[in-house]
Amino acid sequence: TAERVAIFLMLLAALTDVLVGYLARLLNQKTDLGRVLDPISDKLSLIVVGFLLYKFRDFPLWALLLLGGRDLLFFFLGALLLKKTKVVPEARTAGKITTSVFAVTFLLYLFRLSPYNTILLHISIVVFIFSFFDYARRFLRVLQGRCHQF
């Protein structure tokens, strides 16, 4: 069924993302390009899955727009940061937690596990807000020259 294919693809994407990151660290193959592309691919995956859940599983449009808007904002801020300071923005712990919580939320929406999907969505938004301010604070500190790494 389409649900099984979607679940398989979501799990495969998550597994390969974790595996590639682990191998890059293990083999000391971390690059600036990888630091830029990895979060972009994570965000694109989340947005695509979120859109499909909006379209077929009643995922709230406002939550999808919030997630997509934050990611677009951070993409442009990251480009600005790189241009002005030559510092490559990296994924932060708060961002990784947010991505993980949204991934579980998406699974609950995929399986239509109400009311748990709605409850976890609200928890996801709280984590999302914390992550937003964590990234914003780091961006400002780097732009102001008070911190030289992301």
122: exposed, middle or buried (Cβ count in 10 Å: 0-12, 13-18, 19+): exposed
Contacts of 69-77 with CB under 8 Å at 24 or more apart are 70/128, 70/132, 71/43, 71/46, 71/47, 74/135, 75/40, 75/43, 77/139
Enumerate residues 6+ apart whose C-beta is below 8 A from 57: 109, 110, 112
- Can you give the pTM of this predicted structure? 0.80
Show pLDDT as tens, one digit a residue, over the chain (150 residues).
776 777 787 778 778 888 888 888 888 887 877 777 777 888 888 888 889 899 889 999 999 999 999 989 988 888 898 899 988 888 889 988 998 899 899 989 988 999 999 999 999 999 999 999 999 999 999 999 888 777
Q: Where are the domains of the chain?
A: 2-59+75-143
Enumerate residues 6+ apart whose C-beta is below 8 A from 143: 80, 81, 84, 85
Distance CA 78, CA 95 (A): 14
DSSP state at residue 87? P
